[in-house]
Structures are given as C-alpha cells and as structure tokens.
Structure 1
C-alpha cells in the first residue's frame, strides 16, 4: 500500500480508546446486583412524562426492544421485564472517577484524555515496560474494571487515536472479547470498508452528501480522491478527511496542552448534549462562580480568560477554544461571568455542547485592580460584598447552603455537583 506519507514517517503510538458499555444502564444494573449485559434496564430523564428522553438502555434492551438513547418514554413497550429508572447522576460521576483511577494505574495524567463520561483515550506507549504490549494492557484494564466495578468495557487499539476510535466503533463493540486492534496495515481492508461513509470519524450526513455530489461515495473513494480538490472545496477539513481515510492522525495525547502558566480552571463533562443557549450559559456561570471563588480564596485576580467548548461526538466540528485579555484584572463572579458569556456567544455555532472548560489566567495579587471608568464604584463595592458573603456562607455551611436561582432552572448542574443531582439523591456504589 502506497501511503501519502512515507511509512517510516507515520506516527506510531500505542493508543487505546475505552468505552463503558451502556454506562448509565450498566451502573444501575450493578447497583441491583445484575449483570450489565443481561439486565433489562432503561434510564429515563422523567418517568412521569410520556415524551421524556431515554438516557441509556442496557444492551439487551437495545437488541430485543430497539429502545436506545434518544428514544421516548411513550415508545417503551409495556413489558414486565423492563426496569425503568430515573438517573442517579452523582453516582455516575462517582463511578466515572473510579474508572479514571484504574486508568491512572497504567498511564500518567498527560497520557489520558477523557473524551466523555463513558469514553477515554489512553496512550500506553510509555507503559509497555511495566505492563506488557498494548493488547496485554487492554486486557488488564478490561479485567480490572470488571473485577472491581462489574462493568463491561470495550476497547479499540490503534497506532494513533483515530485508528483506536475507528477500531472501537467499527469492530470492538461487537467483538466477542470486546477488543479490536487496527494498524496502518489494516487501512485497505478495514478503514476503507467502513460503511456507510457516515460511520467514518468526522463525516456527518451533510459532508456525506457534499462528498457524494463530487463522486465520493465511500471511504475508499475518499482515500483515492485529489486531496487538493478536497482542500479547495472543504478547506482544512477536506485535507483532514483525506488523511483520516488513510488512517493518518498526528494527535499525541501528551501534547494536547502546552506549557502552563499558573491558572485556575474548571472543566465539566455534561451528562447530556446541551442544545439551548440559555442552558449552556447557566452552566458557564456556575463554573465561573466556582473558579472566581478560588481566585478570591487565594487572594488573586485574573486579567485573562479562556473558554473551551467541545461539541457532541456525533458531529464533525469538535468545538472551539478561545482566550482573551480582560480590560482589567478581576475576581468578581459577575464580571468574570459576563466576559465568559460574551466569549461564548461570539464563537458558539449553535452546535450541541458536551464539555465546557473555563480558565482564568494572567494572575496578579488582588487589590491592585485598575479602576474601570465605565463601572460605578458603588457597583464594584456591591459585587465585592455579595461575593464575600456567599463565600463565607458556603465555607461555614457547605456549597449547597446558598446558590443562584438560575441553578434551579433546567440545565443547571450546581446542585448536582454539590451533592444533589437534579433532585436525585447522591447514591453510593
């Protein structure tokens, strides 16, 4: 196979893409001492509403009843075998933390990338001497998660993150042992045979139609197309699709973040896709409040911010990350929130959001902030008093002792993160 890149220049790593089968439903099965693959469990947002969305369904439910994530309550048949439960979000986050702890036995933090609450990438290249080859490490991780948490995971193994992800989605999830390994040598027989083309990473229905209009119907066609014509039509994404069709991906997990200055940040993987601006803004404000409180606790103010937004895995656009310098340094919750919201509104393309990351940087000691000619001094003082009062109440009585009213609205996650998850009690595993 003649590749666009010389063979000895192809990036070769040992990357695992690990997915927990039907995560929410599996956790609920384990709580009830049931095998996740044998249980008939459906996790639904609200059992009382006929149009409520199914958040997860056990593999057996998917296979025998056709009920899957996104189905509606009214579509669920009346069958005595089916157990319909509402989500226990704090429990799912707790279990996710346990899974991450197992991953960290095998890789350093910089070699771990959390893709979603039920999926992660691990670069085990530096772990071979301690734990064996990539297949052996995959088996050890799979076994550890089963023995300790009774959860079933499937794993894709690849020479890079792309091949690991394609191996997982197109073979590993249905493999008898739940593990599939794809290398560059497998590209002609496996990657080029992915069908339909929308099953290829990064190719949505819209792109598939555009590719079809220029005679590209398959991944094999894409790999043998004129890459310069693809670039002319689709821009940099055209080149990316071309190289992906050859299984080429230069991503290195440990390089996803550069040299860091001192910052205060918070990241959150949302438990569902957020489609509406007002819901996303609520979460951004809640996260900003948390970071602002830490700034005040450490006696610093920020003069730079960065906002990272990751979209749902099902679309080709990954999201965005933008940073700006502020007119003046601040640790005011209201002021920082306004800047983050403005940054979000400027760059959001109305795509469904799954992860949010807020960062405050360019730190300096608090108390040296510039006077803002456009902000009345009395407003600054009022904001300062409100922030200090809220901080003091939470320090004394707990984070859920006082909260903003918007955290009670649909989309809010503050109470969930404080131990009360959307009205559900936090449960232990």
Structure 2
C-alpha cells in the first residue's frame, strides 16, 4: 500500500454507534419483549395501506424482508408481526438518555450526533480513563443494554469514516456487535465492500458514473488516477478517491460550525388539494409553525422559500419561490401574506401534494434597523405573542385558525413530532 502515506492523516480512536432497529426496538422494550426476537414494525399511519415502514425489528427484516421504506400493504396479514404507529416523543427521550450515557465517556466536544439513532464519539482523550477503544465500546453497549434494554452496535476506526464503514459493513451484522477497522486493514476491509452503493457516500448516481468510467470496485477506485476522478466527477471524485483509501482528516472536536442556519417545515399531504382556500390555510399553518420557532429563539428571517410539489408530475414538478422580505420578520401574518401572494401568482390549479416553508438569512431580532411600526403591525406582533403563550401553556390545539377545521392539517398534526405521531398506544 505504498501509494498513500497514512502518517500524514490523523490516527485517533473513534466510535460510530448505532441503535439496532431503534424505533422497533424501543417499541419492543416498552412491551417487555426482547428487541432481537420480537416481531414488530413501526408504520407511519395505520389508516393508509400505502403508509411507509419507519422501522422493523431484526426478525422481521430477516424472515419477511420488511424494512425501512417498505409499505404497509407489503406486511403479510397472517403473520406474528405486530404493527404499531410511531411514538416520536418517546424516541427523542430515549435518544437523550443514550446521549447522556455517551457523555459519561466523552465530552460534548468529542460527541457528534449524526442522526436520532447514530452518533460518533472520539474517545482518544478518554483512553487513559477507560482503557482502549474496544473496552469503551463494550462498556457503552453493556450500559445501554442494562439501563434501557436496547441493543447498540459500534464500529471502531482510526477516523470517523473508518468507524462508520466498520459499523455499517460488519458491526451491525452479527454479535458481538463491535468491529474495528484501521488503516492497515483497508485492503481486507474497505476494498472488499460490495456493491459500490454499499460504500458510504456512493449514491446510485455516482455508482452509474463510476461504472461508465470502468470502475466497478472500491479497490479499483483506490487505484484510479485522482486527477482523472476530479476532472470527471468534480471535487466529489477526489473525495471518493481518499475515502477508498479509508482517509478522513476530520476531527470531531474541530468540526466547523454552520455559517448560516434556517428553519424549515415540510409536509406531504394525505390527498391532492385543488381548492385554493384549503391550500392557503395549510401554507398559513406551516408559516405559523416556522415563525413560532423564530420567535422562540428571538430571531427573524430576511427571506422565505415557498416550495409547492404537484402530484401529477406529467404536468409539472411544482415550484420553489424565493421571497425577499423588506426587513427581518417573524410575524406570522406578514410572512404568510407574502407567501400567499407568491402562491397565487404561480399556481394555476395543479393538484398540490406537498408544501415546504423555509425561513432563511436568520438574524437576531434585536439587530434589525429600528423604525416605526407600520399601521397595525404592532397589533400583529402582540397577537403572535398571545398565541405563543396560549399554546405553550395549554397545547397547540388551544388556539387555531377557523379554516383549519375545513381543509387544514394543523389539528390532525398538532401532536406530531418530526413529521410523525408523537404518541400512540
């Protein structure tokens, strides 16, 4: 392996930890069942046969090939499978409990939450306290099992990439649920990953492009000319080349903070919407949710994006409109009126099936230019404050638009968390 000098890259002790079949395992544990032996599937909505499977237990995956992304109607009717709706609030609480266990072994600076069920821990600074990375991983696995009843798996690597690859391609698949990949093991591990799409970062699009270039394996990718890869695939080509060698220069504690933030809400509707008044009330409801988050964080936005998706894609995919505001705002009425005008200008009766509202160019609410309120605007801000206070104290259903009872989705989704039901039986 003389083509790459690993001494120029960080060599740390990194864990990538995943909760096995997280949602389904939580549902098994709360019913007193072994998460590895239970037959449980979590489905987004039991009322719809086309609802998406959010998680399935290991037994269901192995015996019925039902996994995340499958559909409700694919689940055999005559089977021992228990089908339940999600409890997103519970999952978030369990995730917090798991993160707190991680914090017994690393500082916040060395902990990166990758998703609700996966985290990356740099334990380099903890080795003198808790022993080698393998011992720390086993201690975390045992602690989570003892305290929460869940099975977690851990990939160990010299960097975050190798830890992630070890997790996905070995640790997740069989006991003892721990695997370690180092730089020296790249030819026996990284280069053996098949197919190309099983490699982290290679999508079906890049898989197709690589094969058109005559690259069918990770080993071939590692021995391709990096300049040719960059010329053909851009900067991603060079990144894939380094990744094929297991190289990743990132250090968790030195990660860059995002230069800009945004607040977004997206909704795929339960049916096609053709009535303008119904679509507008949904837009206003969603703007209200985004603006409430802005006010909660004492921030305002300088621009808003309205995204509309159509169900009949033969007509058109939809549109995304960028709305520049005259000054920073977090008023529901002012921003929803701007979105209303933009929608009316662009919509011509197409069947609407998805709506997205994104607030961008965020600034602290006290940093905008001071000016006198236009007529009636102080009343709008006061109304927003009262609505926020009522919902904070009595729940989101305490006050809502009258139109939400006829065509809107606010009442149905008031208890949703992360786009799914916050609680279920």
Q: TM class by shorter-chain length?
A: 0.7 to 0.9
Determine the structure 1 residue equivalent to 2:289. 286
Alignment of 1:19-98 (within 5 A): 19-98=18-97
CA–CA distance in 2 between the matches of 1:282 and 1:15?
Answer: 43
Which of 1 and 2 has greater Rg? 2
CA deviation after TM superposition for structure 1 residue 222, in Å = 0.4
Secondary structure of 1:174's counterpart equals coil
Determine the structure 2 residue equivalent to 1:11. 10
CA deviation after TM superposition for structure 1 residue 329, in Å = 4.3
Stretches of structure 1 lacking an aligned partner (at least 5 in a row) = 296-300, 308-323, 342-351
Q: How many residues of Structure 1 are paired with residues of Structure 2 in the alignment? A: 378
Is 2:284–2:336's contact at 8 Å kept on the other side of the alignment? no
CA–CA distance in 1 between the matches of 2:386 and 2:128?
Answer: 53
CA deviation after TM superposition for structure 1 residue 231, in Å = 0.5
Secondary structure of 1:394's counterpart equals helix
Deviations 1:85-141 (A, max 9, x none): 122221111111111111122122222211111111111112212222111111111
Secondary structure of 1:250's counterpart equals coil
Q: Are 1:425 and 2:423 counterparts? A: yes
Is 2:287–2:335's contact at 8 Å kept on the other side of the alignment? no
CA–CA distance in 2 between the matches of 1:158 and 1:306?
Answer: 41
Q: Are 1:402 and 2:399 counterparts? A: yes
CA–CA distance in 1 between the matches of 2:286 and 2:98?
Answer: 25
Secondary structure of 1:180's counterpart equals strand
Alignment of 1:271-350 (within 5 A): 286-295=289-298, 302=300, 328-333=327-332
Q: Label 1:302 to 1:383 Cα distance change in 2 as closer, same or farther (>3 A).
A: same
Determine the structure 2 residue equivalent to 1:182. 181
Deviations 1:157-191 (A, max 9, x none): 11111111100011111132000111111111110
CA–CA distance in 2 between the matches of 1:281 and 1:123?
Answer: 43
Stretches of structure 2 lacking an aligned partner (at least 5 in a row) = 273-278, 306-322, 341-353
Determine the structure 2 residue equivalent to 1:310. none
Is 1:329–1:369's contact at 8 Å kept on the other side of the alignment? no
Determine the structure 2 residue equivalent to 1:313. none
Secondary structure of 2:192's counterpart equals coil
Structure 1 window deviating more from structure 2 (247-256 vs 176-185): it is 247-256
Determine the structure 2 residue equivalent to 1:381. 378
Is 2:230–2:236's contact at 8 Å kept on the other side of the alignment? yes
Deviations 1:270-329 (A, max 9, x none): 999xxx9x999977862442231341xxxxx5577999xxxxxxxxxxxxxxxx998644
Is 1:154–1:179's contact at 8 Å kept on the other side of the alignment? yes
Secondary structure of 1:237's counterpart equals helix
Is 1:42–1:82's contact at 8 Å kept on the other side of the alignment? yes
CA deviation after TM superposition for structure 1 residue 335, in Å = 5.6
CA deviation after TM superposition for structure 1 residue 258, in Å = 4.2
Q: Label 1:203 to 1:147 Cα distance change in 2 as closer, same or farther (>3 A).
A: same
Secondary structure of 1:378's counterpart equals coil
CA–CA distance in 1 between the matches of 2:181 and 2:138?
Answer: 16
Is 1:44–1:56's contact at 8 Å kept on the other side of the alignment? yes
CA deviation after TM superposition for structure 1 residue 387, in Å = 1.3
Determine the structure 2 residue equivalent to 1:369. 370
Secondary structure of 1:17's counterpart equals strand
Secondary structure of 2:390's counterpart equals helix
Determine the structure 1 residue equivalent to 2:416. 416
Determine the structure 1 residue equivalent to 2:347. none
Q: Label 1:210 to 1:259 Cα distance change in 2 as closer, same or farther (>3 A).
A: closer
**TM-score with structure 1 length normalisation?**
0.76
Is 1:167–1:181's contact at 8 Å kept on the other side of the alignment? yes
Is 1:19–1:154's contact at 8 Å kept on the other side of the alignment? yes
**TM-score with structure 2 length normalisation?**
0.76
CA–CA distance in 1 between the matches of 2:235 and 2:56?
Answer: 37
Determine the structure 2 residue equivalent to 1:251. 250
Deviations 1:355-393 (A, max 9, x none): x99884455368x63469xxxx23533431321221332
CA–CA distance in 1 between the matches of 2:23 and 2:262?
Answer: 27
